[in-house]
């Protein structure tokens, strides 16, 4: 027996309504903010992610699915959503459009994660990017979209965490302060942190190991070491969040795992859980487009895990509408009735109704049992007598009531259900 590969899962029919619910709400929010959909390929040149996500990140070091195709090209299954969109922005000449270009997407993400609960090797992301405008109002717009979406999904007690990690102007100075601070504590840090100390000290703040937490708490804070333009940007972002009455908390440990972020970073977290369970996260990436070979072009966006959103919808018992209407089941008794029933089903379907024909030439009782197992709203019963009189028996499956109607009256009555 074959099984789905480790870290992957099937999305079964009974779960689809959660997916469609999140998608519908996300599209509606995006459209209200003037964002348009983009789809990019499942795989890209491997170099795109080495360049954008960063060679020293966990993602590129140990998590990408990279392979050589039959022509010898190095390809990587998309491990995150932003770099492909930036690649498309450059390749498709979107810098010629009015800026910023506002885009949203739904896509699968592939990472070779260590197997544990809630970690998938293929997971699904909803994300947005606003490329081409460095105004702090755009940071706030992006945060506002994420916040609005979670509110409209009716998720309760979400917390928004924000931070500024500065830019290439002020970050080297801050890195130096971090190293000075950490130098005295190196012996007490975990192996990962000791490696990060040289290569990417910002990520020391991101360590999840319990033993490293006391040192993180006392570490110098990036928001206290910003250059004047970064400070001004940061004040504008927090000021606008206040203005919009979006509640937030500033957390100096929030640095995000990817190298390309600058200035604003943010996450939205569900109640009583740490950053391991982040539902939505993103930030500004002003250097990324240039890193990919374009002219200096600011950008900001977020990604959110569909699976994480859905876990929280279920945990909070949010009422999600069914994906499709309850069906109507045609119950036909006898050969002549079956011939008529199949035609009746076809004509009702063309009117937009969801119709099943009960299988087999079985008894009334067993066909009605089938109708109720399919959660039918109505059963339409046709036998010799109904055929002769030109009527159809309509059984209301919820109330157990039955009446006879002319075929012509059926669409109106059934649509009303």
Residues found near Zn ion in the complex (CB under 5 A): 166-167, 169-170, 190, 193, 207, 209, 212, 227, 230
Whose Cβ is closer to Zn ion: residue 214's or residue 247's?
214
Nearest CA to 137 out of 39, 18, 33 is that of 33
Provide φ and ψ at 112, rounded to 5°: -80, 80
Provide the minimum distance between the beta carbon of 212 and Zn ion in the complex, in angstroms, as a whole number: 3
| Rounded Cα gap, residues 315 and 334, in angstroms | 48
Contacts of 41 (CB under 8 A, 6+ apart): 78, 84
Whose Cβ is closer to Zn ion: residue 230's or residue 333's?
230
H/E run at residue 391: strand 391-396
CB of 88 within 8 A of CB of 38?
yes
Provide the minimum distance between the beta carbon of 164 and Zn ion in the complex, in angstroms, as a whole number: 8
Whose Cβ is closer to Zn ion: residue 88's or residue 212's?
212
Whose Cβ is closer to Zn ion: residue 209's or residue 314's?
209
Whose Cβ is closer to Zn ion: residue 34's or residue 168's?
168
Whose Cβ is closer to Zn ion: residue 87's or residue 203's?
203
H/E run at residue 307: helix 306-315
- Secondary structure (DSSP) of 172-202: HHHHHHHHHHHHTTGGGS-HHHHHHHHH-GG
Provide the minimum distance between the beta carbon of 211 and Zn ion in the complex, in angstroms, as a whole number: 7
Provide the minimum distance between the beta carbon of 72 and Zn ion in the complex, in angstroms, as a whole number: 39
Provide the minimum distance between the beta carbon of 263 and Zn ion in the complex, in angstroms, as a whole number: 7
Question: How many other CB atoms are found less than 10 A from the CB of residue 409?
Answer: 12
| Rounded Cα gap, residues 3 and 23, in angstroms | 28
Provide the minimum distance between the beta carbon of 226 and Zn ion in the complex, in angstroms, as a whole number: 5
| Rounded Cα gap, residues 340 and 332, in angstroms | 8
């Amino acid at each position: 027996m074959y099984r789905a590969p480790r870290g992957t899962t099937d999305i079964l029919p009974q779960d689809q309504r959660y997916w469609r619910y999140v998608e519908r709400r996300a599209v509606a929010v995006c459209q209200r903010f003037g964002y348009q959909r983009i789809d990019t390929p499942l795989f890209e040149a491997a170099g795109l992610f080495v360049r954008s996500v960063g060679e020293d990140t966990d993602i590129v070091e140990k998590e990408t699915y990279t392979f050589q195709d039959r022509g010898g090209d190095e390809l990587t299954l998309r491990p995150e959503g932003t770099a492909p969109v930036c690649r498309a922005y450059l390749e498709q000449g979107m810098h010629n459009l009015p800026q910023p270009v506002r885009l949203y997407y739904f896509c699968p993400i592939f990472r070779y994660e260590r197997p544990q609960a809630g970690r998938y090797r293929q997971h699904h992301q909803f994300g947005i990017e606003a490329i081409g405008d460095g105004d702090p109002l755009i940071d706030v717009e992006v945060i506002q979209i994420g916040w609005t979406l979670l509110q409209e999904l009716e998720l309760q007690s979400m917390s928004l965490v924000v931070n500024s990690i500065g830019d290439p102007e002020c970050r080297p100075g801050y890195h130096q302060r971090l190293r000075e601070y950490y130098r005295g504590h190196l012996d007490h840090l975990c192996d990962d942190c000791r490696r990060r100390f040289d290569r990417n000290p910002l990520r020391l703040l991101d360590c999840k190991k319990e033993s490293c937490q006391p040192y993180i708490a006392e570490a110098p804070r990036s928001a206290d070491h910003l250059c004047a333009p970064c400070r001004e940007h940061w004040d504008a972002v927090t000021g606008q969040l206040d203005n919009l009455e979006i509640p937030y908390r500033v957390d100096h440990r929030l640095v995000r795992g990817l190298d390309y972020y600058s200035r604003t970073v943010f996450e939205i977290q569900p109640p009583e859980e740490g950053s391991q369970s982040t539902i939505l996260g993103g930030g500004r990436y002003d250097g990324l487009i240039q890193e990919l070979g374009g002219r200096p072009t600011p950008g900001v966006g977020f990604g959110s895990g569909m699976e994480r959103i859905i876990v929280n919808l279920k945990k909070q018992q949010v009422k999600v509408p069914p994906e499709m209407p309850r069906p109507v089941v045609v119950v036909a008794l006898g050969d002549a009735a079956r011939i008529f029933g199949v035609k009746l089903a076809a004509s009702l379907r063309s009117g937009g109704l969801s119709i099943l024909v009960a299988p087999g030439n079985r008894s009334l009782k067993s066909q009605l049992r089938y109708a109720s197992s399919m959660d039918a709203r109505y059963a339409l019963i046709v036998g010799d007598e109904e055929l002769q009189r030109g009527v159809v028996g309509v059984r209301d499956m919820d109330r157990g009531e039955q009446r006879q109607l002319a075929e012509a009256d059926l669409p109106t009555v059934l649509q009303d259900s």
